[in-house]
Structure 1
């Protein structure tokens, strides 16, 4: 159980960390996605900070389990919001979302399973 918890948590942290970097450096992909979902571009850095906080929170969770659990739950909520944003504009491009969401859910489940 511990190996799965550590592996999935690190994978989720890396995925979200890379996504946060693309949001924070001003890459065109997050801007195009914001435009497609009719979200103001001014939100892109905020979303990047949320992803970065989730990514770092997962890693801090190895030392402070409650923070890891909260970070995983926060990422699950973040990606529920992303799904709503996709569906609101009729987007069916959900493969990327599904990867990130399932990783966040798995991290939360393993975190709870390991620490409870």
Structure 2
């Protein structure tokens, strides 16, 4: 029972975090714009990146609602997305905000584990 609750909390946290990050992309928040400039990603890509984050969050929710393979696929997609983002930060030698990206990656990895265990 405790494991189930922990899995739900981890997945819900990943959903909320990714929706929040997507909203920052959609609204072109100062943080999202500044970060994209620092890592060399065109600001015109922000809406597409936001869509990917929302798609991952929606997939995690579908996984919670019983479509397990969608949840697993979404979690894998988010893990790969944030691995790519870490690579972009490293390529740009941007180490100040990489910790945030690593946090999102770890949350996505935890959601993947929770989705599989659940």
TM over 0.5, shorter chain:
yes
Q: 1:98 aligns with which of 74, 97, 102?
A: 102
Deviations 1:6-62 (A, max 9, x none): 110000000011011110122121111111111111111100110111111111111
Partner of 1:87: 90
The TM-score normalised by the length of structure 2 is 0.91
State the secondary structure of the residue aligned to 2:64.
Answer: coil
**Structure 1: which 5+ residue stretches go unaligned?**
none
Partner of 2:79: 76
- Name the Cα RMSD after superposition: 1.0
Q: 1:28 aligns with which of 24, 27, 30?
A: 30
Q: Distance in 2 between matches of 1:89 and 1:26?
A: 21
State the secondary structure of the residue aligned to 1:68.
Answer: helix
Q: Distance in 2 between matches of 1:4 and 1:72?
A: 16
Q: 1:5 aligns with which of 4, 7, 17?
A: 7
Q: Distance in 2 between matches of 1:70 and 1:100?
A: 17
Q: Distance in 2 between matches of 1:26 and 1:40?
A: 12
Count of aligned pairs: 114
The TM-score normalised by the length of structure 1 is 0.93
